[in-house]
Amino acid sequence: MNSSSQTLNGSEIFFECLRRENVEYIFGYPGGSLLKVYETLYDVKDIQHILVRHEQGATHMAEGYARATGKPGVVLVTSGPGATNTVTGIANAYMDSSPMVVFTGQVPSSLIGNDAFQEADIVGITRPITKHNFLVKDVKELAMTIRKAFFLATTGRPGPVLVDMPKDILNSTCEFQWPESVEIRGFKPTVQCHSNQIEKAAHKIAKAKRPLLYIGGGVISAEASEELRAFAISQNIPVTMTLQGLGAFPASHSLNMGMLGMHGTYWANQAVNNCDVLIAIGARFDDRVTGKIETFAPQAYKIHNDIDPTNIDKNIKVDLPIVGDSKHFLASLLEAMPKKVENREPWLADIHAWQEKCPLSYTYEEGALKTEFVIDEVSKQTAGNAVVVTDVGQHQMWTSQFYKFNNPRSIITSGGLGTMGYGLPAAIGAAFGIKDRPVVLFCGDGGLMMNIQELVTAVHHKIPIKIFLINNSYLGMVRQWQELFHKEKYSFTDLGDSNPDFVKVAEAFGCKALMANDSDSAKAAITESLAYNDGPILVDFRVIKKDMVFPMVPAGGSISDMLLARLNPKTMV
């Protein structure tokens, strides 16, 4: 404990702790149980509070900030409905391993369990979707609890931690002491990989004729992109990535194979089917990657490195498990590699042939606008240097295919939970963290409507995000599944006449807005948007209504059985 001390109330302790954790922004919304906190906040000048318009928006903003910067995002909401409104965002951060600390107000300790006004058992509700959560029972425990919360959120596999603060605790006083260090019994993540396992992996990879690197978001979380590039290039091993792993290896390099899995590239999935050694790093063998488990990488000796031991053998049984930090793993593995390795040129030639057989492409159609064109054009005009945020759906998958990610922390998207409504607030949060690169949002019309109120937050703070609305008047991905697998029964996916005029809506919020419905107007609108930095700008791209994302692996199918085109071209109209 720090020997210097002073008497503070719980609210003052709260802000003093945030200062010690170098917090820049709080994404929050006030309420009755937090009145003392907001009274104190009135005079706080060194931490900026961002007033959101819905608590779910606060969690997505905090996650967008965390994903863009690597720093933990901070949320502050009141008890009861304020706390329960954060549940989706917490679950999203948990699934995608994003560091976040959520502070919730709570009714006075004496009323807990009495169904008091605006009481909810948020600790019980969020226990399955947090790394850990706390109910503070004594003001003397508050500083240590906050210290533990940030430590847990950022150490090992990152994730969300919740701290529930009863009203009486925030009003009580005690002698403030800052814990300089923290230890949590039973929580000691393995950082350094076991040297014997590293040697085994190096020996196996050196002898591999058809090795493949399968990279997840853990490589980006570990800041291990440079080590990945050094290892892959020196060993001449192709790299495929999950949705969250995109950007860990540059798209401009010939060894980059793009994304694998359900909407991955044909050649990446063929490489998985035919590789003899699969090196999985910071990935969890998600079902959208593996497809049918029994047929996933059938010929491969499987090596799996992850800092979270519970991820290993959870979905796919592996031959060589290596627990530890991905940065340490890659650096140690490169050092351990023998000087002589197998010739990989025949393997790379096979991959090139698969690329030639089924490239990612799209067709121009006179008087029509395709989503792929929009994303491709944005990629070209930003030279792959934007921070790209997506909502969830078809546009998300097209972004993974057609935007050329050359840098880590360049894609911010809801992967594991697939949360519609994520994109707009996440883009706002990312823009608070990143000032030297454009922040671009690709969002569907269905997803935008789910948290459109946060446009007020962007306008108020003059956040220069580029909101590229992919407007097809459908819940596009659900419609795609209905066409392919549900007898073309388009049940409640046609938004049709129920959509508003998004340009007018945006302008009503005080946001600059444009509309484009063909390739020429789209190109001009993208150029104008990227040059505009006086606040948010929205472009309503009126794209083909019934377009579909290919390649595609049907749910539960093998990744070797990809659909490469729609079954009934007449439904394209």
CA distances 63 to 51, 74, 422, 479, Å, are 16, 9, 10, 29
Contact 158, 98 (CB under 8 A): yes
Computed over its alpha carbons, how large is the radius of gyration of the chain?
24
Q: Are strands 466-471 and 512-516 parallel, antiparallel or unpaired?
A: unpaired
Q: What is the 3-state secondary structure (H, E, C) of 295-314?
A: HCCCCCEEEEEECCHHHCCC
Domain ranges of the chain: 6-176, 195-357, 371-550
Integer Cα distance of 77 and 562 in angstroms? 45
Q: Specify whether domain 195-357 bears CATH 3.40.50.1220.
A: yes
Q: pLDDT by residue for the chain (573 residues), tens digit each? A: 454 579 999 999 999 999 999 999 999 999 999 999 999 999 999 999 999 999 999 999 999 999 999 999 999 999 999 999 999 999 999 999 999 999 999 999 999 999 999 999 999 999 999 999 999 999 999 999 999 999 999 999 999 999 999 999 999 999 999 999 999 999 999 999 999 999 999 999 999 999 999 999 999 999 999 999 999 999 999 999 999 999 999 999 999 999 999 999 999 999 999 999 999 999 999 999 999 999 999 999 999 999 999 999 999 999 999 999 999 999 999 999 999 999 999 999 999 999 999 999 998 777 899 999 999 999 999 999 999 999 999 999 999 999 999 999 999 999 999 999 999 999 999 999 999 999 999 999 999 999 999 999 999 999 999 999 999 999 999 999 999 999 999 999 999 889 999 999 999 999 999 999 999 999 999 999 999 999 999 999 999 999 999 999 998 889 888 998 876 555 444
Alpha carbon separation from 292 to 243, 286, 358, 555 (Å, rounded):
18, 11, 22, 8
> Which DSSP symbol is given to 183?
-
Q: Do residues 261 and 559 touch, judged by C-beta distance below 8 A?
A: yes
Looking at the domain 6-176, which fold is it?
A: Rossmann fold (3.40.50)
Residues tagged active-site: 55, 117-118, 167, 477
6-176 and 371-550 in the same fold: yes
> Model-level pTM greater than 0.75?
yes
CATH architecture entry for 371-550: 3-Layer(aba) Sandwich (3.40)
